[in-house]
Amino acid sequence: MTTSISNDGFLRIPLLRFTRLQLRHLVSGVDEDEQCGAAPRCGGPTTISGYTEWVCDTEPGLSIGWDWVLASDQGIVVWRRFGLPRSNAMLTDEMQREFGWLPTLHLLANAVDALSWHEKTRNALISRNPE
């Protein structure tokens, strides 16, 4: 099955082929605090969130990005995907029929959740913002 890009900018890719692709980290960043310059209250809750973008060396190129948030789970800090990913991919079945936009985003979200992205994202942020 082939991968093609159409006039609408989507990279049509069969789901089975997508599951075999190796994504690699491209860039990550931390969102700027949106409190309009107000200092956080001492002891008050804070949120750390950001974004990450991953690519695959396909021809044409595949890109998938998502937002993340650091959350506390029983006193342990965990990285979680926040919202649905963004991508130029439109997943298809073996007959090259599109799954549709929302089902594609949910399939991509499942793929992101199965990906070990936390450590690479963390390391990229540290190297971007050394102390």
* Local confidence pLDDT in tens for the 131 residues of the chain: 456 567 788 999 999 999 999 999 999 999 986 554 555 566 666 678 999 999 998 788 899 999 999 988 788 888 999 999 999 999 999 999 999 999 999 999 999 999 999 999 999 998 876 66
β-strand partners of 27: 53
Map out the domains of the chain with their CATH numbers.
4-31+47-128 (3.10.450.610)
The span from the CA of 100 to the CA of 103, in Å, is 6
Other CB atoms within 10 Å distance of the CB of residue 130: 5
**CB–CB of 50/30 below 8 Å?**
yes
Q: Which two tokens stand for residue 123?
A: 């390391």
